[in-house]
Amino acid sequence: MMSKLTNFLLVTLILALNYDESNSQGVQELIQEVKETILRLERSGKIKRDYEPYTEPVLLDEEGYDFVIVGAGSSGSALVHRLSEVSNWTILLLEAGGEPEIYTDIPFWSRLAEYTQLNWGYVSEKEDNIALGLKDQRIPLTRGKGIGGSSLINSLIYTRGTKEDYNRWESLGNPGWSYEDVLPYFKKLENCTIPIRDDLYRGHDGPISVQDAYQTKSGDVFIEAAENSGYKYVDYNGRTNKGVSYMQHNTKNGLRCSGESCYIRPIKHRKNLTIRKNSQVTKILIRNNTAYGVEFFKNGRIYTAFANKEVILSAGAINSPQILLLSGIGPKHQLLKFGIKPIHNLPVGQKMHDHIAYSVLGYTFNDSITFNFSETLKDESFINLYNKGEGPLRSINTVQNILFTRSSFEPNLQRVTDVEIIGLSGHIVSSSNNTGEIEVTNAIYENTFKQYSNQFVGSCAIALLHPKSYGRVELRSADPFVHPKIYTGFLTDPEGRDAKALIEGIREANRIMLSPAFEKYGIKPMDTPIYGCQQHEYDSDEYWECAIRHVAHSFFHYTTTCKMGPESDPEAVVDSKLKVHGMRRLRIVDTSIIPITLSAHTNLPAFMVGEKASDLIKEEYLLD
C-alpha cells in the first residue's frame, strides 16, 4: 500500500483515465486508497452513503417471467423502472456485470472503474489511416459493464440533441420519434436545477437530477472568451443548442446520478422485479420466429429464463447486435461462417455511427486557474461532497464547458450543429506517466507531450457530431465470451469531408482559446507538432489532418447497429415500435436502434429510449 497518494504526478493518473499496463499497479493502489478513505469516513460517521448491496432470490435451472430484459444500462434502467410500476407483471433484469464500486457515485473518482471489471474493455480493429499514433493502432472503446451500464463510468455529459435531429429521425419512416414526440420523455425523466434554463423545455420531477458542472477559473474564462467570440450563453437542452454553456451533468447533490443510482436503486425491492447480476446472456431462445426466452451464464453454468410476453434487448450498441448474431438473427453469410443456424436475415451490426474526437489541443498558463488535483484525496473534499454536494470531487474528467457550432461542411442539415467543443481544466496526456485516455505511443508522448507534464495546462476536445463515415460490428467467434470485431470506419468518407469539418472545429477552438480573455493568464498553445507529423507546416490543413489521423479517437457514442426503420429500409433491424422485423415478442431498447447521428452524447437519449419504450409496451399490453 502506498503511504500517501497526494503526490500531484500520481494523482494525475486520473486525469482522463484509460488502461495502461505499465501503470496498472499504481492505479489499483489508487483505487484501494480511495476505497479505504470512503470506508474510514463512513465508519467515523463523517459521511453517510445511500447504498446497500443487491440481493437475489434462489436461482432455479429454469424460471419464467412476463418480461426478460437483457442489460441494466441507461435504457434498461429506465425501462425496468417504468415496467415494474405495473405490479402484476413479473420482470427479470439480467446484467452481465456486477454492482457499482464503492466510489462510482463520486464523479471524480468514478472513472477509476474503467480499470475494473465494470468496463468491457473493447478496442477497435486495426484500420488503415486512423489511430496511427495510438498503441497497437487501435482505439479504446469504453463500455460500462455493471448495473447502470456506461452511466456508471461515463463523463456525465447531459445533452439531448436538437429538434432537427429528432424530426430527421421520424422523417426516415419512424412515426412517433419526432421532437414533439420525444420532448415529453426528456422532460419526464429529469429534475433540472441549473440556474440558467429554458423552463418550457425542462423537467423538474423526474428521477435524473441535472446540475451544472464544477467550475475552476478557467471554466469561467472560457465562457467569457466564447461570448467575446460571438457565441451566446444558452441552455443547450432548451430551445437551441447553438452557443456556449457550463456543462450540465446528471448529478444529484454532487453525486453521480446513474441509471443504477437514480432509476434502479430506489425500486430494486419491488416484489415483481428480480435482478440478477453477473449473468451474461449467451443466446435468445427462438421458435417459429418467436422469442420465448434466453440462456444466460452465471456461476459457471448455463441457466434458462422464459418470457411469457417479451424478450427485450437493452445490452447496448455493441452487445445487442452480438447477441442477435449469436442467436441466428443477422447477415446470413456471417452466421454460416461461424456455424450458426440462420433464423432471420437482417443487417445487424452492418452500420455503426460514432463521434470522432480530437482531444489533445492543449494550452499552458502562467497561473493556476486550472484544476487542483492535490485536493482530490483530502478528507475534507470527501466530506464536502457527501454532506454539501460541493467541491472538486464533483468534477469528472475536468470537463467544465460545452460549445455547439456549425461548420461550413454541413449545408444539408441547415440549422443542425455538427461541431462540439468541450473545455477541460486539464489535459489528457499531461501526467508524468503516459496514461492518457487515447493511449498514444511512447514516441508521441516523449517527443510531443512530456515537456508539458508539470505545467498549468488546459485543453479542448473537439468532436464531429454528424460524420459521413461509419463503422460496423461483426462476430469474431461463435463463442459468446469472445469480443466481437469493431471497426470505427473513421475518416473513410471518400470526399474527405469529415477531416475538413474536424479541422475547422480545431481552428475554431483555437480562435476562442487564444482570444483576449485568456491573455492575462499567459496562455500559450501547446504547439509542439504531433510526432510523425512534423514534416508538415504547423497549422496547415495537411498538418491537422495528419494529427487527426494519428491521435483522434472515439467519444464512445455508438448507435445504429440495430437501426430503426420501415421494412422497406434495407438497413433497418427494428420498426418504430422497437420490434425486430420478422420476429415476434422480441424488442430492442437501447442506442443501437437510433437511425441517425445526433448532435448529442448518447446517455440522455438512451434514457429517453427506455422511457418511451415502456409506454409503447404498456399501451400494447394494458389496452388488450
Cite the active site residues.
557
For 164, phi and psi rounded to 5 degrees? -65, -35
Beta strand spans in 267-330 (E): 273-276, 280-287, 290-298, 301-313
Q: Which residues are within 8 A (CB) of 333 and not within 5 positions of it... i.e. 6 or more apart?
A: none
d(CA 359, CA 155): 14
Closest CA to 610 of 93, 115, 153: 93
Buried b (16+ CB within 10 A) or exposed e, 394-407: bbbbbbbbbbbbbb
| Site of grid cell 446520478 | 257
Using an 8 Å Cβ cutoff, are 455 and 364 in contact?
yes
Residue 234's CB is within 10 A of a number of other CB atoms, namely: 19
| Site of grid cell 497518494 | 5
Residue 87's CB is within 10 A of a number of other CB atoms, namely: 9
3-state secondary structure of 579: strand
Amino acid at position 328, single letter: G
Closest CA to 100 of 86, 119, 81, 121: 119
Using an 8 Å Cβ cutoff, are 512 and 423 in contact?
no
Angle at 149 between CA 145 and CA 154, to 5 degrees: 105
Using an 8 Å Cβ cutoff, are 478 and 338 in contact?
yes
In order of 432, 452, 531, 532, 579, the CA distances from 445 in angstroms are 10, 10, 8, 11, 47
3-state secondary structure of 577: coil
Residue 111's CB is within 10 A of a number of other CB atoms, namely: 24
3-state secondary structure of 245: strand
Q: What is the 3-state secondary structure (H, E, C) of 607-623?
A: HHHHHHHHHHHHHHHHC
d(CA 586, CA 573): 11
How does DSSP assign 489-553, residue by residue? -TT--TT-HHHHHHHHHHHHHHHHHTSGGGGGGT-EE--PPPTT-TTSPTTSHHHHHHHHHHH-E
d(CA 12, CA 432): 8
Kindly report the length of the chain.
Answer: 624
d(CA 83, CA 76): 10
3-state secondary structure of 134: strand
Amino acid at position 125, single letter: E
Strands 140-141, 290-298: pairing is: unpaired
Closest CA to 399 of 510, 525, 507, 248: 248
In the chain, what is the straight-line distance between the N-terminal and C-terminal CA atoms, in Å?
Answer: 61
Using an 8 Å Cβ cutoff, are 99 and 147 in contact?
yes
d(CA 477, CA 302): 19
Residue 577's CB is within 10 A of a number of other CB atoms, namely: 15
